[in-house]
Amino acid sequence: MPFDLPPVTRALLIANVAVYLLQMLTGDALIVHFALWPLGPSPYSDVGFEPWQLVTYSFLHGGLAHIAFNMLALWMFGGPIERLFGSRPFALYYFVCVIGAALAQLAVQAFWPTGGFYPTLGASGGVFGLLLAYGMMYPHARILLLFPPIPMPAWLFVILYGALELFLGVTGTQAGVAHFAHLGGMAIGFVLIQYWRGKLPIRPRRILMR
C-alpha cells in the first residue's frame, strides 16, 4: 500500500489520532458529549442523544487496539477508494456510511433493547462502508487475512465478513461490539454506490462508478 495518501484519507487518519490523544488527556469528557447515546430518556443527567453525535462518535475510540484496527483499515481501503471516487465524493460516501451506521445502531437499540444504556463510538461504520466499496470496486483484489493468513478475493472477504457480523449481531455472541452499526455502514454504502451507478429507480445527478 502506498504511503502518499490522498487528502481526505490522510485528514481522517490525522483527525482520529488527534481526537484519541485528546481522549487520553480528558478522560470521559468527550464521550459524555460526543459519543452516540441511545434515543429516549437517559438514566443519567449529563448524557443523552444529540444530533451531532451521528458524526462525532466516529472520531472517538475505546482503546488502542480499537483505533489501531480502524486506522489500519482506513489506510488500506481509504486510499484506493478515494483515488477512484475523487476526494469530494469519497468524503460524502464516508460520512454517509458513518451516519447510516449510527442510524442502524440507534434503531437496534430502540427496537431490540438489551437492558443497558451505553454509548457507541468508533470509525467502524465508515470503515465497513469502505470495505464494502473496495469489494465492489476491486472484487478480484487479494486480501490477506491475519488470522489465519489466507489470501482471498475482496468480494469473498466482504461477503464472509458481513455474514459473520450478522451472525454475531443476531446471536449476541460478541458483546460490546456494534455489529449492526457495521452492517448499517455496509448497507448504506451499497445503496449509495448503486445509486451512483444508476441502478436504482432514482436517477443520479452524476454517476461516479464504472
Q: Give the pLDDT band of residue 209 (cuts 50, 70, 90).
A: low
Between 122 and 174, where is the model more confident? Answer: 122
140, 155 contact by CB (below 8 A): yes
On the question of pLDDT at 41 being above 50, the answer is yes
Report the C-alpha gap between 155 and 175 in whole angstroms: 27
Q: What fold characterizes domain 7-196?
A: Rhomboid-like fold (1.20.1540)
How much is the average pLDDT of 181-199? 93
How much is the average pLDDT of 145-164? 85
pLDDT at 114: 65
Between 179 and 96, where is the model more confident? Answer: 96
| Out of 22-31, 124-133, 186-195, least confident range | 22-31
Report the C-alpha gap between 201 and 53 in whole angstroms: 31
| Out of 94-98, 125-129, 163-167, least confident range | 163-167
Residues taking part in catalysis: 124, 182
Report the C-alpha gap between 104 and 107 in whole angstroms: 5
On the question of pLDDT at 38 being above 50, the answer is yes
Q: What residue ranges do the domains of the chain occupy?
A: 7-196
Over residues 165-183, the pLDDT tens digits come to 988 888 877 677 888 999 9
Q: Which 3-state string (H, E, C) describes 136-182?
A: HHCCCCEEECCCCCCEEEHHHHHHHHHHHHHHHHHHCCCCCCCHHHH
Burial of 62 (0-12, 13-18, 19+ CB in 10 A): middle
What share of the chain in percent tops pLDDT 90? 65
How much is the average pLDDT of 150-163? 91
| Out of 62-71, 93-102, 144-153, least confident range | 144-153
Over residues 47-71, the pLDDT tens digits come to 889 999 999 999 999 999 999 999 9
